Amino acid sequence: MEKPQQFKAGLKQAWRDEMRSAKNYHTLALREKNAQKKAILVRMAEAEERHAERWATRLRELGADPGDYRETFSERVRRWILVKSDSTVAARMLEAGESEADKLYDVLLETSQSEQDKSSILGAQLEERAHSRMLGEFEGQPGHPQHKLDTLLRRETWHVRAGGWIGQAIYGVNDGLGAAFGVVSGVAGATQANGQFVLLSGFATMVASALSMGSGAYLAMKSEREVYEAEVDREKLEIENNPQEEIEELELFYQLKGFTEDEARAMAQRLSEKPDQFLKTLVHEELGLSEGAFPNEWRSAISASLSTAIGAAVPVLPFLFSSGMTALFISLGVSTAAHFLVGASKVLVTGRSWWKSGVEMTLVGLGEAAITYAIGLLASSAIR
C-alpha cells in the first residue's frame, strides 16, 4: 500500500479511536461523583472530540469522508466492562488506549506527506501523552514520586493478570475443542461414524486433554513462582551486604525511565525506608518479575482443566443423542460455530476485528477436521 493510502487508512483509524475515547470519557464522567475528576474527564472527552473533528475534516479534504461513527459490538462490550470496573481499573484501561493512540500517531507521522499534517499529528500526540499522565495520576496525588512508581508497577501487573487469565481460558477451550474435533473426525472417518467408538475416543481425549492442560498450568505457575522466590532471596542478600549500592542502582533505573535525577533519588530513598517494598521493586526493575504476576497454581490448574474440558465436550456431545453421519454433521456444525465464537472472543484481549479472528480460527478448525477425517478414511482402507 502506498503512503497516501496508508495515511488515509491510519487517519480513519485515528478518527474512530478518538470518537470511541470521547464516548468512554463522557460515559465515565457521568458516573463520576468527584467534581474535580468529573471536570478532568469532561475536558479529556472534549479534547478527543477536537482531535476526531480535525481528522474527519482532513479525511474529507483527501476525498475520504469517514461517515458516521457507529460502535461495533466489541466496542460496546469493552465500554460496558469499562463502566462496570472500579475507577482504578477503568483508568488503567483508558491509559492503555492512550498508549495505543500514541503508537498509531507514530505511524501517521511516518506516512504523512505535508508539514501541516505532521504538525497536527504531533500536537494531538502531545495531548494524548498528557492524557496518559493524567490517567496515571488519577488515583493519587499528582506529581508524587511514590505514586508514579506505584502506577508503573500496578499497570504492568494488571496487564499480565488480565491478559493471562483470559488468554489461558481461551487457549484451554481452543485446545480442547481442536483436539477433540480432530479425534472425532478421524475416528468417524475410520469407523463410518460408529457412535460407540467416537464417544469412547472423544471422552478419552477430553479427559486426557483436560488433565494435561491442568497439570501443565500448575507446573508452569509453580516453576515461575519458585524462580521468583529464588531471585528474591538473592536480591535480599545483596541488599543486606551492599544497601547503598542497591539504592544507587535503583536510582539509575528510574533515570533511564525518564525521571530526573532528583525524582529518581527521592523515589529510591523513600523506597529504601520500606524494606519489603524496596526488595520487590528491585526484583521487578532488575529482572522484570513481580509477585502479583503469578496467579495461584491451583486456580490456574482448575481454570485450564475446566476450559479444556468444556471445549473438548462440544464435538463429542452430538454422539450422545444421535449416531452415524447425522451425529457427525451435527458435530461439524456445532464445532464450527464454537471455533468461530472462541476466535471472536479473543477481541476482548487483542482488540482485533472479531470477525477476522473468528473466521481465522474457524478455518483452522475445519482444516484440522478435514485432514484427520482423510487420515481416518485412509487408515480404514488400509486395514481392509
Q: Is residue 20 a contact partner of residue 75, using CB atoms and an 8 Å limit?
A: yes
Dihedral of the CA atoms 247, 250, 255, 260 (nearest 10)? -40
Q: CB neighbours (10 Å) of residue 232?
A: 17
Of the ranges 82-91, 231-240, 249-258, 304-313, the best mean pLDDT one: 304-313
Q: Is residue 200 a contact partner of residue 307, using CB atoms and an 8 Å limit?
A: no
Burial class of 267 by CB neighbour count within 10 A (0 to 12, 13 to 18, 19+): buried
Q: What are 77's three cell numbers?
A: 462490550
Higher-confidence residue of 2 and 372: namely 372
In this prediction the pTM is 0.48
Residue at which a domain ends, from 136, 161, 178: 136
Q: Is the pLDDT at 295 greater than 70, yes or no? A: no
- For residues 57 and 176, membership in a common domain is answered with no
- For residues 94 and 151, membership in a common domain is answered with no
Looking at residue 137, what is its pLDDT?
54
Looking at residue 161, what is its pLDDT?
43
Residue 44 covered by a domain:
yes
For residue 29, give the CATH number of its domain.
1.20.1260.10
With bands split at pLDDT 50, 70 and 90, how would you rate the model's confidence at 145? very low
Instruction: List, for residues 203-252, the tens digit of each pLDDT value.
Output: 898 898 889 888 888 888 788 778 777 777 777 787 777 778 778 777 87
Distance CA 343, CA 94 (A): 24
Residue at which a domain ends, from 136, 160, 194: 136
Mean pLDDT, rounded, for 321-347 = 84
With bands split at pLDDT 50, 70 and 90, how would you rate the model's confidence at 86? low
- Average pLDDT over the chain, rounded to an integer: 76
Burial class of 94 by CB neighbour count within 10 A (0 to 12, 13 to 18, 19+): buried
3-state secondary structure of 296: coil
Q: Is the pLDDT at 24 greater than 80, yes or no? A: yes
Looking at residue 74, what is its pLDDT?
77
- For residues 268 and 156, membership in a common domain is answered with yes
Residue 337 covered by a domain:
yes
Residue 85 covered by a domain:
yes
- For residues 203 and 224, membership in a common domain is answered with yes
Query: Please, which residues have CB within 8 angstroms of residue 367's CB and are 6 or more apart in sequence?
Result: none
**Shortest CA distance to 335 belongs to which of 320, 314, 354, 353?**
314
Residue at which a domain ends, from 136, 158, 185: 136
Residue 87 covered by a domain:
yes
Overall number of domains in the chain: 2
Q: Is residue 297 a contact partner of residue 218, using CB atoms and an 8 Å limit?
A: yes
- For residues 230 and 358, membership in a common domain is answered with yes
**Shortest CA distance to 237 belongs to which of 290, 289, 293, 282?**
282
- For residues 217 and 70, membership in a common domain is answered with no
Looking at residue 166, what is its pLDDT?
59
Residue 217 covered by a domain:
yes
- Its domain, for residue 269, covers 146-383
- For residues 217 and 190, membership in a common domain is answered with yes
- For residues 177 and 104, membership in a common domain is answered with no
242: left (phi over 0), alpha (psi -120 to 50) or beta: beta
Residue 141 covered by a domain:
no
- For residues 96 and 157, membership in a common domain is answered with no
- For residues 117 and 166, membership in a common domain is answered with no
- For residues 192 and 310, membership in a common domain is answered with yes
- For residues 88 and 159, membership in a common domain is answered with no
